Amino acid sequence: MIIMIVIILDICGSLTINPVPLVIFPVLAANIGSASTVQDNPIAVLIAIRGGVKEFSSSEKMTDER
């Protein structure tokens, strides 16, 4: 992410355009991606618990419960 922001700032500096709109998109994309994966993210864990998402460990098999 940091490398991407540096590249965006460098390109915007050489093109003399405002980098803010181009920096906001990767930041939002990273936050959405982080929230969508429950692992290692306390906020995503809260969202998953409130949303009723069930987590399965790697040793369990997901079965079709009808």
Assigned domain for 1 exists: no
Assigned domain for 23 exists: yes
Taking the CA of residue 28 as centre, how many other CA atoms within 13 Å lie in the half-sphere pointing to its CB?
Answer: 6
Our CA angle for 50, 53, 59, nearest 5°, is 140
Q: What is the pLDDT tens value at each position of the chain, 66 positions in all?
A: 789 899 999 999 999 999 999 999 988 888 787 767 777 777 777 777 777 766 643 334 445 554
Structure tokens at 6: 């540096």
**Domain total of the chain:** 1
With beta carbons less than 8 A apart as the criterion, state whether 38 and 48 touch.
yes
Domain that includes residue 22, residue range: 18-50
Proportion of the chain above pLDDT 70, given as a percent: 71
Assigned domain for 26 exists: yes
Assigned domain for 3 exists: no
Q: Check residue 18 and give its pLDDT.
A: 96
Assigned domain for 66 exists: no
pTM over 0.75: no
Assigned domain for 10 exists: no
Assigned domain for 46 exists: yes
